């Protein structure tokens, strides 16, 4: 595995390297310095943070009980997982009962379409924490992809054309700082009015949240793509003039590859912002994801609520981190300059 | 057939066939007097809304215990943010039915607030509310409240003892604000009833003049807050008291932010509280589904009040466990358990027995009595939500168009035929008029006769009566 990692710089990272070398049993003496840096120092910092958290939490008393420390949060995370398992067991029991009913119906000779309907019946329990994580991920991906599909072409075009840049710039600058919470009521009204159908593919709340994410995550991508495109090295542009490349080849072979770093910086920023915006949008639009989970726990006001909300906060942060790393890996695989440092 | 089978003689055959025909005729006759079994549901996938309150229990129990499934209904239960969102959801069809305040179907049908014809075939529970005041207000009230021999306050605590506090606040120029959950909620009317009985004016509505704040001529200003946010609003000092359903009164005691002073059981013994509302359109398009929903809810209500070896309410602890799941009410088990299992904590440490705090099935709690509807209509008139005077017959008409004991009867007879219930668990359908006998157990001892609403209105010192229009 070490060899694989070394040969595929896409997955490289100092941290991973040193851990794997340690595990592979390379000479400990030579490794220890770097290893200590990469593994022990972060671990120690995390431990100190946990201790400070425990001490601080005990001092804060809210009307919902003491602020939960790491142990309570851990307990509640386990509880959330248990609830997920219990719900899945209930679903399995429901499916068994449905199967029994289907068998009875077949034996009684009921019409085929009725049997079909029974087969396609879904369990109607409420979404668990794990389900909500996936809903949030779908929603953010939907919003982000739509935003990127709109933003990248616009960014490229305005980066290459100074006139268009001057035209669009004021609009971008004015809409960029708008908070998602300000967009939300407008988006809700528009979706309610426009998206009317008897057999909707998407829930209205899903659309509202996804569109809000799109509106907020367009801007970093547009701006960074524009900057990347307009900052292509003069030498490369001269090469294209010398070779008399047509517009399309110039864009595909010279401009896009050299602006990929900036474009991806923009995409990473957008995804990060989109994930943050999503949680707020879900709280208000009641999309059944992590934002709704936090809101519902707050409304419940049980003595476990704060711990559960904190567990959700940690999960949100962790997922945001994974999304960012995912984008970074994607960037590395697409970038032509593998020696460039990317963190 | 062997020849030794002597039963196969012609006489034997005749006898048996006569017996068989006789039996068939008898069952045929019996069958024709019994209700024909309800047909298959027209709509099987249903979505019901609820607010996070203890008395949504029949819905949760019907789902968790499989009563809905037994009727061939596949239900999703969805918590709503507040009463307005819930009502709008039912009206625009996103929800097929919902746990509603008893006043909502009535107000919607007469057009106070959003207009829509909502009907209810099932009353979800009796009692279940309380009025809580902040610690500060309680400290000021306490000296005025008579004490029992052991030093504890004598119950019921009338609003007469709150009046000096309200007057004090008024003298200082501080408006005495209280919260309730919705302009047509039972809590609003109960709070107003209690305040008015103590001589505190709770304010009038004047919708014909565009004033729906309900604070005209008020000594105490009442405003709307969704139930889960009540304790927080009390703690923040925005309001000095509120009237809300459980578990939000006990929650205030647990968190040490308020003191419940009275339950609505003591204001009006066994008052109607929540109903299950659907649009009239839904019940007309889906009659079988409606009957089946009522059947499932009836079974759930019976389960909730079922007696065990230790007495009534044996299933309540299990019900509390279901309700404390975060997708239902979500509050702590202990907070919900208090009121559901027959005790109510007033001041911290002062727990009293109130076995009928929540009643789901006993005392015909599930039957939609017309007189209940009329009471709510009279209170709407008393406080000006119905701006013009109305004849007694108008009250009766509105009650009949909204409350549907006919659907209830179909469901009940069906359950009796299936053997889940017995006839003595229901009112006598042959003689039931829908109007209860005149009720006397109110905190101010005024008698309520549902057949004479205008006379009833005249018996109150505070409130619109007769031909008064603001």
Task: Verify whether the Cβ–Cβ distance A302 to B330 is below 8 Å.
Answer: yes
Q: Is B373 on the interface with A (CB under 8 A)?
A: no
Which residue(s) pair with B47 in the sheet? Answer: B76
Nearest CB among B78, B255, B330 relative to A300 is that of B330
Contact across the interface for A301 and B331, Cβ inside 8 Å: yes
Would the pLDDT of B26 be above 50? no
Residues B245 and B298 in one domain: no
pLDDT at A19: 66
Is the Cβ–Cβ distance between A321 and A87 less than 8 Å?
A: no
Nearest by CB to residue B228, choosing from A83, A299, A303, is A299
* Chain B CB contacts of A304 below 8 Å: 332
Most confident of A3-17, A34-48, A117-131, A137-151: A137-151
* Interface contact flag, B330 A297, Cβ < 8 Å: yes
Say what the pLDDT of residue A141 is: 94
Please indicate whether, in this complex, the C-beta atoms of B324 and A97 are within 8 angstroms of each other: no
Are B426 and B364 within 8 A, CB to CB? yes
Report yes or no: B205 and B15 within 8 Å, Cβ to Cβ.
no
CB distance from B326 to chain A under 8 Å?
yes
**Across the interface, which of A126, A301, A305 has its CB nearest the CB of B327?**
A126
Q: How far is CA B410 from CA B122, B366, B459, in A?
A: 12, 14, 38
Task: Supply the Cα-derived Rg of chain A in whole angstroms.
Answer: 26
Per-residue pLDDT, averaged over A187-191, amounts to 87
Q: Please count the residues of chain B.
A: 470
For residue B468, tell me if it sits in a domain: no
Task: Quote the mean pLDDT of chain A.
Answer: 85
Among the partner residues A124, A299, A303, nearest to B332 by beta-carbon distance: A303
Instruction: Give B346's contacts (C-beta < 8 A, 6+ positions apart).
Output: B153, B155, B253, B259, B260, B261, B352
In angstroms, the separation between the Cα of residue A88 and the nearest Cα of chain B is 14
The larger pLDDT score, comparing residue B31 to residue A51, is at: A51
Q: Among residues B267, B285, B318, which one ends one of the domains?
A: B267
User: Do residue B251 and residue B361 come from a single domain?
Assistant: no
Are B202 and B195 spatial neighbours (Cβ–Cβ below 8 Å)? yes
* pLDDT at residue B297, rounded to an integer: 96
- The per-residue pLDDT for A120 is 81
Confirm whether pTM is higher than 0.90.
no
User: Residues near A238 by Cβ (< 8 Å), separated by ≥ 6?
Assistant: none
Q: Band the pLDDT of B302: cuts 50, 70, 90.
A: very high
DSSP letter (8 states) at residue B221 = E
Q: Where are the domains of chain A?
A: 2-59, 79-119, 129-334
Model pLDDT, residue B401: 94
Cis amide bond preceding B156, omega within 30: yes
H/E stretch holding A160: helix A129-160
Whether residue B79 sits in one domain with residue B66: yes
Alpha carbons B206 and B385: distance in angstroms, whole number: 7
DSSP string, B340-352: HTTEEE-STT-EE
For residues B294 and B246, membership in a common domain is answered with no
The predicted pLDDT at position A107 comes to: 87
Q: List the domain range (segments joined by +) for residue B68.
A: 45-125+273-458
Average pLDDT over residues B218-238: 88
> Residue A180's closest CA among A220, A211, A155?
A211
Q: Is A200 on the interface with B (CB under 8 A)?
A: no
- Is B52 an 8 Å CB contact of chain A? yes
What pLDDT band is residue A63 in, cutting at 50, 70 and 90? low
Q: What is the pLDDT confidence band of residue A339, given thresholds at 50, 70 and 90?
A: low
Query: Which residue in the block uniquely carries the two structure tokens 């709407």?
Result: B380
Does B227 contact chain A (CB < 8 Å)?
no
B244 and B145 inside one domain: yes
- Chain B residues near residue A301 by CB distance under 8 angstroms: 228, 231, 251, 330-331
A63 touches chain B (CB under 8 A): yes
Please judge whether A300 and B251 are an interchain contact, meaning their C-beta atoms are less than 8 angstroms apart.
Answer: no
B52 contacts on A by Cβ (under 8 Å): 299-300
Residue B333 to residue B148: CA distance in whole angstroms: 31
A302 touches chain B (CB under 8 A): yes
Q: At residue A249, does pLDDT exceed 70?
A: yes
CB contact under 8 A, B327 and A303: no
Nearest to B76 among A64, A124, A308 (CB): A124
Domain assignment of residue B200, yes or no: yes
**Dihedral sign of CA atoms A79, A84, A88, A91 in order:** positive
How confident is residue A3, by pLDDT bands cut at 50, 70 and 90?
Answer: low
Contact A63 B324 (CB under 8 A): no
- Whether residue B228 and residue A286 make contact (CB cut-off 8 A), yes or no, is no
Mutate to test the interface with B, among A90, A94, A302 (most CBs of B within 10 A): A302
CB contact under 8 A, B330 and A64: no
What's the ipTM?
A: 0.70
State both tokens at B18: 């006569």
Determine the distance in angstroms separating the CA of A317 from the nearest CA of chain B, rounded to an integer: 23
Q: How confident is the model at residue B25, as a pLDDT?
A: 47
pLDDT, position A26: 59
Average pLDDT of the residues of chain B: 88
Facing residue for B75 by CB, picked from A124, A297, A308 = A124
The residue of chain A with its CA nearest to that of B226 is A299
- pLDDT at site B32: 38
Cα–Cα distance, B224 to B216 (Å, whole number)? 16
Which residue in chain B has the smallest CA separation from A295? B81
Exposed/middle/buried for residue B234 (C-beta within 10 Å: 0-12, 13-18, 19+): buried
The whole-angstrom distance between A106's CA and the closest CA on chain B is 16
Contacts of B324 in chain A (CB under 8 A): 302
CATH number of A129-334: 1.10.3720.10
Q: What is the tens place of the pLDDT at every residue in B186-209?
A: 999 999 999 999 999 999 999 888
pLDDT at residue B9 in the model: 61
Evaluate if residue B305 carries a pLDDT over 70: yes
Query: What residues in B contact A132, CB-CB < 8 Å?
Result: none
Q: Which two tokens stand for residue B130?
A: 């309380």
pLDDT at B404: 94
Residue A112: the pLDDT is: 82
Here the CATH number for the domain that contains residue B242 is 3.40.190.10
B181 or A114, which is more confident = B181
Is B443 in the A-facing interface, judged by CB distances under 8 Å?
no
Give the residue on B whose Cα is nearest the Cα of A308: B326
A64 contact B CB<8A:
yes
Q: Using pLDDT thresholds of 50, 70 and 90, give the confidence band for residue B334.
A: confident
pLDDT reading at A289 higher than 60: yes
- Is B3 domain-assigned? no
Q: Which of A136, A117, A64 is nearest to A301 (CA)?
A: A64
For residue A259, the tally of other CB atoms under 10 A from its CB is 25
Count the helix, strand and coil residues of chain A and give each as a percent rounded to the nearest 5: 80, 0, 20
Q: Where are the alpha helices (DSSP H) in B127-285?
A: 135-141, 163-171, 186-197, 230-236, 248-254, 264-267, 280-285
Do B320 and B377 share a domain, yes or no?
yes
* Number of structural domains in chain B: 2
Same structural domain for residues B414 and B306? Answer: yes
Name the residue of chain B whose CA is nearest to A97's CA. Answer: B69
Answer with the residue of higher pLDDT: B164 or A338. B164
Residue B54 maps to a domain: yes
Q: Hunting for tokens 């990127």 — which residue is that?
A: A148
Which of B247, B267, B287 corresponds to the end of one domain? Answer: B267
Instruction: Single out the residue in B267, B284, B312 at which a domain terminates.
Output: B267
Q: Which residues pair with B46 in a beta bridge?
A: B75
On whether both B311 and B396 belong to a single domain, the answer is yes
In-domain check, residue B8:
no
Kindly report the three-state secondary structure assignment for every residue of A260-319. HHHHHHHHHHHHHHHHHHHHHHHHHHCCCCHHHHHHHHHHHCCCCHHHHHHHHHHHHHHH
pLDDT value for B27: 45
**A331 alpha carbon, distance to own chain's centre:** 16
C-alpha–C-alpha distance, residues A250 and A264, integer Å: 20
Residue contact B74–A124, C-beta within 8 A: yes
Instruction: Give the model's pLDDT for residue B151.
Output: 86
pLDDT, residue B18, reads 56
User: Residue A254 and residue A240: Cα distance in Å, rounded?
Assistant: 8
- pLDDT for position B291: 95
| Over residues A255-267, mean pLDDT | 88
At what angle are helices B186-197 and B370-382 packed, to 10 degrees? 60
Average pLDDT, integer, range A272-299:
89
**pLDDT above 60 (res A100):** yes
d(CA B69, CA A90): 14
pLDDT of residue B36: 58
Pick from A63, A124, A126: which is nearest to B257 by CB? Answer: A63
Q: Is B79 on the interface with A (CB under 8 A)?
A: yes
Residues of chain B positioned with their CB less than 8 A from the CB of A311: none
Average pLDDT rounded to a whole number, residues B154-174: 91
Rounded mean pLDDT, B161-166: 93
Percent of chain A with pLDDT over 90: 36
Query: b vs e for B294-309, b when ≥16 Cβ sit within 10 Å of the residue's Cβ?
Result: bbbbbbbbbbbbeeee
Contact status, residue A240 vs residue A252, Cβ threshold 8 Å: no
Candidates B60, B228, B326, B333: best to mutate against A (most CBs of A within 10 A) is: B326
Does A11 score more than 60 pLDDT? no
């Amino acid at each position: 595995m070490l060899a694989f990692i070394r040969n595929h710089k896409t997955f490289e990272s100092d941290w991973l390297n040193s851990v794997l070398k340690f595990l592979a049993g390379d000479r400990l003496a030579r490794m220890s310095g770097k290893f200590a840096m990469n593994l022990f120092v972060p671990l120690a910092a995390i431990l100190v943070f946990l201790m400070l958290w425990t001490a601080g939490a005990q001092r804060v008393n809210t009307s919902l009980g003491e602020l939960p420390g790491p142990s309570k949060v851990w307990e509640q995370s386990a509880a959330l997982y248990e609830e997920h398992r219990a719900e899945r067991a209930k679903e399995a029991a429901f499916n068994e009962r449905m199967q029994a009913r289907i068998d009875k119906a077949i034996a009684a000779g009921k019409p085929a379409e009725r049997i079909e309907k029974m087969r396609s019946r879904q369990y109607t329990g409420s979404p668990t924490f794990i389900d909500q994580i996936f809903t949030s991920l779908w929603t953010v991906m939907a919003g982000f992809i739509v935003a990127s599909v709109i933003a990248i072409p616009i960014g490229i075009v305005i980066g290459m054309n100074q006139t268009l840049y001057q035209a669009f710039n004021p609009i971008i600058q004015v809409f960029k700082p708008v908070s998602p919470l300000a967009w939300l009521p407008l988006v809700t009204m528009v979706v309610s009015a426009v998206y009317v159908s008897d057999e909707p593919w998407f829930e209205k709340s899903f659309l509202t949240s996804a569109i809000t994410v799109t509106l907020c995550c367009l801007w970093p991508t547009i701006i960074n793509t524009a900057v990347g495109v307009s900052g292509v090295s003069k030498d490369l542009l001269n090469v294209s003039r010398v070779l008399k490349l047509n517009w399309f080849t110039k864009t595909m072979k010279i401009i896009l590859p050299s602006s990929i770093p900036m474009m991806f910086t923009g995409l990473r920023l957008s995804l990060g912002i989109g994930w943050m915006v999503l949680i707020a949008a879900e709280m208000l639009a009641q999309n059944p994801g992590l934002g709704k989970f936090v809101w519902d726990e707050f409304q419940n006001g049980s003595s476990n609520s704060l711990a559960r909300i904190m567990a959700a906060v940690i999960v949100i942060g962790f997922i945001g981190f994974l999304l960012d790393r995912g984008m970074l890996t994607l960037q590395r695989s697409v970038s032509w300059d593998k020696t460039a440092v990317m963190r | 057939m062997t020849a030794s089978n002597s039963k196969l003689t012609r006489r034997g055959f005749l006898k048996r066939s006569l017996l068989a025909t006789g039996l068939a005729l008898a069952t045929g006759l019996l069958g024709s007097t019994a209700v024909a079994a309800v047909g298959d549901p027209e709509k099987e996938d249903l979505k019901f809304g609820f607010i996070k309150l203890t008395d949504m229990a029949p819905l949760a129990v019907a789902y968790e215990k499989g009563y809905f499934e037994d009727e061939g209904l596949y239900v999703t239960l969805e918590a709503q943010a507040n009463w307005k969102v819930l009502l709008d959801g039912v009206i625009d069809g996103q929800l097929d039915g919902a746990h509603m305040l008893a006043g909502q179907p009535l107000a919607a049908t007469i057009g106070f607030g959003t207009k829509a014809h909502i009907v209810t075939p099932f009353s979800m529970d009796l009692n279940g509310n309380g009025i809580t005041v902040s610690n500060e207000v309680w400290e000021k009230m306490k000296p005025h409240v008579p004490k029992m021999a052991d030093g504890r306050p004598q119950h019921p605590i009338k609003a007469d003892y709150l009046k000096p506090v309200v007057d004090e606040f008024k003298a200082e120029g501080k408006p005495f604000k209280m919260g309730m959950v919705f302009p047509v909620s039972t809590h609003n009317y109960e709070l107003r009833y209690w305040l008015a009985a103590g001589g505190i004016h709770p304010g009038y509505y004047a919708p014909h003049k565009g004033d729906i704040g309900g604070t005209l001529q008020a000594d105490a200003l009442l405003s709307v807050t969704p139930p889960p946010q009540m304790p927080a609003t009390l703690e923040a000092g925005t309001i000095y008291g509120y009237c809300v359903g459980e578990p939000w009164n006990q929650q205030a005691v647990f968190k040490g932010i308020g003191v419940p002073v009275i339950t609505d059981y003591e204001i009006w013994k066994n008052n109607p509280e929540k109903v299950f509302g659907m649009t009239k359109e839904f019940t007309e398009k889906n009659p079988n589904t409606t009957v089946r929903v009522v059947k499932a809810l009836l079974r759930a209500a019976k389960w909730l009040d079922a007696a065990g070896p230790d007495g009534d309410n044996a299933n309540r602890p299990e019900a509390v466990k279901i309700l404390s799941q975060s997708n239902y009410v979500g509050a702590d088990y202990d907070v919900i358990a208090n009121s559901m299992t027959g005790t109510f904590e007033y001041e911290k440490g002062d727990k009293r027995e109130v076995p009928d705090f929540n009643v789901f099935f006993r005392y015909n709690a599930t039957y939609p009595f017309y007189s209940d509807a009329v009471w709510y209509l009279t209170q709407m008139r008393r406080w000006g939500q119905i701006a013009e005077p109305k004849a007694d017959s108008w009250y009766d008409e509105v009650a009949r168009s909204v409350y549907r004991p006919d659907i209830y009867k179909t469901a009940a007879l069906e359950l009796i035929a299936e053997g889940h219930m017995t006839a003595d668990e229901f009112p006598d359908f042959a003689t039931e008029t829908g109007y209860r006998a005149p009720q006397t157990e109110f905190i101010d001892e005024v008698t309520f006769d549902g057949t004479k609403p205008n006379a009833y209105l005249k018996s109150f010192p505070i409130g619109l009566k007769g031909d008064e229009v603001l």
